[in-house]
Every structure is written in structure tokens, then in C-alpha cells.
């Protein structure tokens, strides 16, 4: 069973109140719960998710199923729907600052990060080595093709959850050392213990605490790291 099948397995066919596909983030709201995911924008410039009227009729489970799509806008919406479900499952999430966790676990060690997070360069000197892997590498980054050879060297791995959206998740985790400390992070992260089944020690995501505030910011193209009305939470695998 794939990670997608596990994440989707229990999502019910319940009505969805609102869908917002913003420049940086996607929101899905049902009842008192909302989910967020990063908007993946690469693809054909005029790609669209589908007929708006059809989307409005879909249940939460049907929207979540869009995660399988090769259309990255649709897959982003699917992840937001998945996150909407899991955000309402457990009231006992703990407050986690993922960037502090990466620094704490990685200090003096070799750290491999899939995804170029803005906080990384600030503490580069704290690590023995910092390897950043990106689809579109910036100066000093490794490319996606370097993952099979280089990622197994990492003592700590921090994986962006957008690998779930772009369907590279299963391929990337094949190259993580069994001995490494593994963190999955970012607003796209499903707050689900399912991810512990794939070797992760920490699952770090985003809860929407004030939907109206977040909604307005998403519509105004606020980058995810500047969003107000959210809380950074997660789960730690104690086993």
C-alpha cells in the first residue's frame, strides 16, 4: 500500500465548504477544520484543475483523490484536502519549530535537506556539512539527480512534504540511511502517524487556527512562511 492509499483510506465523503487555490497556498475547509498545502506551480502555464462547478460538488474524499493527478495544481488541492482531514483528527499535537529541530538534531553532523527552506543558510556553519537538494538548484545546491549518491551520507534528513504532491516521495525515501534521523516538514505535511510507517521520527506541519485571517492572506499571495493565524505543530515518534 502506498503512502497515498494510507492517507486517503479513512477520509469520508463529507461536503466541502470552500476551496481556495492561491499563488503560494491552497486551502480546503469543511466544517470547523481547514487544511493547507503549498501550491505547486510548475507545469503548463494554462493548466487548470477542472470545471469549477464540478469541483464544488466533490466531497472531501473526492478532492483528496486529486493527489494522484499529474496536474500539479490538482495534486496540490488533493494534499490540502488530505491535510484538512488529518488536521481534525488529533487535538494533542505538540508545538514544534521544525527549523529549530533541524538545527538541534543536525548540529555538527551531515544534514541532507530536500527542498530549499529559507532558514537553512543562516545556520550553515553549525553543521558538519549541509546538502540541499532541489528540482531547480540555486547556487551551492545539489540537483535532484544527486540524491541517490549523496543523500545516504546524511546523518539527519529533512524532507519537504511537497515530495508527496509531486510524487517523488517514495523514490526519495529509498535513499535515506536507515540510521539517519528523519524529519518531514513544511505546510504541506499531513499531520498523520501514517508517516511514521516510512521511518520518520518527526512529522512537522501547520494547523490553521484563524481561518479568516489565513484565508485573506492566501488570497493576497502571502508566502507561507509569513502567514499569521497558523500554528506550527507536529508529532514525535517515541519508539
**pLDDT averaged over every residue in the chain:** 92
pLDDT (tens digit per residue) in 23-78: 999 999 999 999 999 999 765 555 667 655 678 789 999 999 999 999 999 999 99
The more confident residue out of 124 and 191 is: 191
Alpha carbons within 13 angstroms on the beta-carbon side of residue 1 total 11
Q: How far is CA 204 from the centre of its chain?
A: 9
C-alpha angle 143/144/150, rounded to 5°?
80
In a domain, 104, yes or no: yes
pLDDT (tens digit per residue) in 109-159: 999 999 878 788 788 889 999 999 988 888 888 999 999 999 999 999 999
Domain count, the chain: 2
Mean pLDDT, rounded, for 89-115: 90
pLDDT (tens digit per residue) in 2-22: 999 999 999 999 999 999 999
Q: Which domain holds residue 131?
A: 94-205
pLDDT at residue 187 is higher than 70: yes
CATH number at residue 100: 3.40.50.11590
Mean pLDDT, rounded, for 227-233: 96
Q: Are residues 160 and 102 in the same domain?
A: yes
How long is the chain? 239
Q: What is the pLDDT of residue 181?
A: 97
Q: Residue 77: which region, alpha, beta or left (left: phi > 0; alpha: psi -120 to 50)?
A: alpha
CA-to-CA dists, residue 71 to 39, 116, 167, 180, 197, angstroms: 11, 22, 11, 32, 27
* CA pair distance 20, 142, nearest whole angstrom: 33
In a domain, 21, yes or no: yes
pTM as predicted: 0.93
In a domain, 223, yes or no: no
Q: What is the pLDDT of residue 45?
A: 52
Amino acid at each position: 500500500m502506498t503512502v497515498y492509499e494510507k492517507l486517503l483510506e479513512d477520509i469520508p465523503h463529507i461536503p466541502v465548504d470552500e476551496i481556495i487555490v492561491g499563488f503560494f497556498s491552497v486551502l480546503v475547509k469543511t466544517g470547523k477544520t481547514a487544511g493547507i498545502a503549498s501550491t505547486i506551480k510548475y507545469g503548463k502555464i494554462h493548466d487548470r484543475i477542472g470545471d469549477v462547478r464540478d469541483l464544488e460538488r466533490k466531497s472531501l474524499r473526492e478532492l483528496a483523490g486529486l493527489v494522484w493527478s499529474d496536474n500539479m495544481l490538482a495534486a496540490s488541492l488533493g494534499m490540502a484536502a488530505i491535510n484538512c482531514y488529518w488536521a481534525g483528527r488529533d487535538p494533542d499535537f505538540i508545538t514544534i519549530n521544525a527549523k529549530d529541530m533541524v538545527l538541534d538534531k543536525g548540529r555538527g553532523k551531515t544534514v541532507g535537506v530536500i527542498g530549499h527552506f529559507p532558514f537553512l543558510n543562516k545556520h550553515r556553519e553549525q553543521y558538519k556539512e549541509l546538502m540541499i537538494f532541489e528540482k531547480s538548484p540555486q547556487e551551492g545546491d545539489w540537483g535532484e539527480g544527486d540524491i541517490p549518491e549523496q543523500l545516504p551520507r546524511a546523518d539527519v534528513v529533512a524532507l519537504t512534504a511537497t515530495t508527496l504532491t509531486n510524487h517523488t516521495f517514495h523514490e526519495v525515501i529509498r535513499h535515506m540511511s536507515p540510521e539517519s534521523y528523519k524529519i518531514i516538514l513544511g505546510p504541506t505535511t499531513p499531520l498523520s502517524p501514517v508517516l511514521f510507517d516510512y521511518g520518520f521520527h518527526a512529522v512537522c506541519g501547520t494547523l490553521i487556527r484563524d481561518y479568516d485571517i489565513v484565508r485573506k492572506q492566501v488570497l493576497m499571495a502571502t508566502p507561507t512562511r509569513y502567514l499569521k493565524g497558523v500554528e506550527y505543530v507536529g508529532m514525535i515518534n517515541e519508539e
